A and B are shown apart, each in its own frame.
Chain A
Amino acid sequence: MAGRFQKEEGGGVSEGAGLRTRSEPAALPCNGLASRRTLLKASAVAAGAALLTACGGDGSSPATTRPRGITVTDQRGKTIVFDKPVTRAVTIPIPAASMLIAIDGSADRLVGMQDASWTAIRDGIMGTMFPVALKVTHDVANEEFAPNVESILALSPDVVVQWGDHGSEIITPLENAGLTVLGLSYGTQADLTAWIRLFAAITGKPDRGRAMLTQINAQLRNVRSVGSAERGTPPKILYFLRYADGLEVAGTDTYNDYYIALVGATNPATGTKAVQGFAAVDVEQVLAWDPDIILLGNFDSALPDDVYRDDVWRAVSAVRARRVYKVPFGGYRWDPPGQESPLMWRWLSDIAFPMQSGTASDLRARIVSSYQFLYRYTPTTSQIDDILWTDVNSGSVHYRELFAG
């Protein structure tokens, strides 16, 4: 029957959505680190710092300029040697394309990508910043991430970036065809750090990777200090992965929960009535949680007005106080981990603790400087408005004052 068959397919894909934390041990690009579970328990600053020290200290940096080439260990624990920095890369995980472009600062090395990566680039600002990316081949894998080996071979890539934790069926055909596969996992701050290190290494730009990580760690400390300086009860923030066709919220072991805690707020979906991962919930459960702030994600088309207009939601604190916000969408969605995650933390911190007496946030200036660093591009005022969803969020409290252009 169609329904049952589709359900199984969907199970595979929601794994593919890959925003969840996976707790199995994973090898990070440097040796001598404990499992990722341990990393998660440590603070992300510590994790980031540990990676830097561990890799920098013993001189076994994955990215070296040694004549022997570049040696990296991917997140499957497999060691891969490249003779020289890769010039032709194919990416299959959806966020990998824009991440590779950001870390390289150009789209020139990207010769093939997943179709969904391509549509995300086309629909967001990425396509404007890197029009050349829109010409890249994007039929290299199906929506289940199963590679089309022959189309990939035709591109003669130096490396194929693929999920390392979605089973061997999507990797083995590539390796059997003699291709070099970089296997990745996704969903945590530690994964984000690992991606930056790996991509910086294989593109021969380890210094740029280190610079990005230094900035990220500085932002982590900065955002955390804002939250800890706040007195009073922290706001309850609930993130909706889906709102329009059935509610789905972010519970424990999600990156959304990670940054809600990071800015010093609390996630009611991880309190006493916790849900695991992204969970479908009944609207009554949301009423019982009574969040102070509601975040609407970029994985469906719901807008704050949809929530404000619904009678059922009228009693929710976030609706009464008009604190329902659509999460920004820059070079990639800000919901999951990515190169622009520090901007997401800053945005969320501003939303959670709006400064008194109408003081504007410096987020716009930060977006400009980040984009100049990541993409060598200066976004215009209206582009920043688009990234921040200024029009659809303008009906929510503080938004215009905070992020005025």
Chain B
Amino acid sequence: MNTEKVVFAFFILLALTFNFGFVLGDIDNPAHHNVYELYAALVVSLIATVMKFGDRTHVGAVLLATSLVADLQLIMAAVVWGYAVNFSETGLDAAMMASIVSLSAGALLSNITSVVLLILETMMVRH
């Protein structure tokens, strides 16, 4: 067993689960989506990205790309949330919530790709 692989897989999976947990619920209902969960998803996703740095294999490069996409989506979601709470006149209404959730749903898709790739790579290793 390789500790590095454990940590690596842990963060990639955790990014997906947090992301999934946040997206779950009615898309425009603020009560269904927790801000801490989005925060956790973003932080874990950032860490997962950095962990993929420096891998020169082809799979490593694609994993890094999917992670960067997830980061981008989550950061946009967070920015929209911050805008809704602090600047928008209407506050965190249903429309705002819907766009936040749809952005993070995009990140979810990307995270799923990451995990699928990870599983595929694991299957390829015979020993």
Q: Do A and B come from one complex?
A: no
Residues of B at the A interface (CB closer than 8 Å) are none
Residues of A at the B interface (CB closer than 8 Å) are none
